[in-house]
Amino acid sequence: MNEDLTVVIFGASGLAGSGIKNGLKGSKIIKNILAPSHKEVDLLNIDSITSYLSKAQPEIVIMAAGQVGGILFNVETQHEQFRSNFMMNFNLIEACLLSKINNLYLLSSSCIYPTSANIPMSEKDIFEGLPHSTNEGYAIAKSAAVRQVLLYRRIYGLNWKVLVPTNIYGPNDKFNKTAHVIPHLILKVSESIKLKNSQITVAGDGTPIREFLLNAELGDAIRHLIETNADFDILNISSGEPVTISSLVKMICEVFDYRGEVFFDHSLPNGHPNKTLDISLLNEFGWFNQVKLHNGLQSVITSFSRGKNFIGPTSRE
């Protein structure tokens, strides 16, 4: 790929997008990184997107925007999650086609994998069944966007690609009660310490298996893929470090030195039983995760404890 590239990142203020933006700053072939805000570009308005792209003239567009949240938020807002994510992705993809964008990286989610998928979940199995019911609205919207990208890639011969990251965490996360599991647990343990409680309650039974990737590592992976011009249509991105939710809780408690009791509420949903991703193709492209989960948690919790990264209610990134 040529040098002096201009890249537009939609959703650069969010968790994944901020990690991507920082990762691309270290690239030798990227000259300009543009990160339009909500006020500059309305992703629910296709004319707003095409107008911005016509002025920016980027060689690469990265779609990292979306409405996101934890399992309980996903369960309670299925319609909102579907509509919002579907419309944002649809408009962005159509605008990229109209604007003749040849290089598009669409950030999807491991949530789109079917509940019945073989473990580890391979890119070839992504449409072999329905996603888990707890996040069906979000997952179906993301799945539709993946289909749209792959269809246009085939019809028009475009260099459009889909990235399927595992659960992302980092210092720019949303630490609130509707957040993803890591920031939610960090906030829960922190509040328990402040209130001098001797117990915390965690949703589910602790058995689900997840992988987590620091947002900075996601950014580094995408930088590597762009610089090497890796050829793929769908690609999993993960740490290769599966862990049960119960082990994750224990890890976070250890970092905080919290010695209270952990109670698992079996009446609340577990979500997908195992979201371990097959990252053999990613490794073949020469990228490997460098930050172990325990070290990443230490960094994020230190930053959180200093009060640098509290973000309010869950919203579009």
In whole angstroms, how far apart are CA 25 and each of 34, 148, 172, 206?
11, 29, 17, 38
In DSSP terms, 165 is beta-bridged to 237
End-to-end CA distance of the chain: 28
Is 138 in the active site?
Answer: yes
97 burial class (0-12, 13-18, 19+ CB within 10 angstroms)?
A: middle
Q: Which structure tokens are listed for 12? A: 């650069």
Active-site residue among 52, 105, 113, 138?
A: 138
Query: What are the catalytic residues?
Result: 138
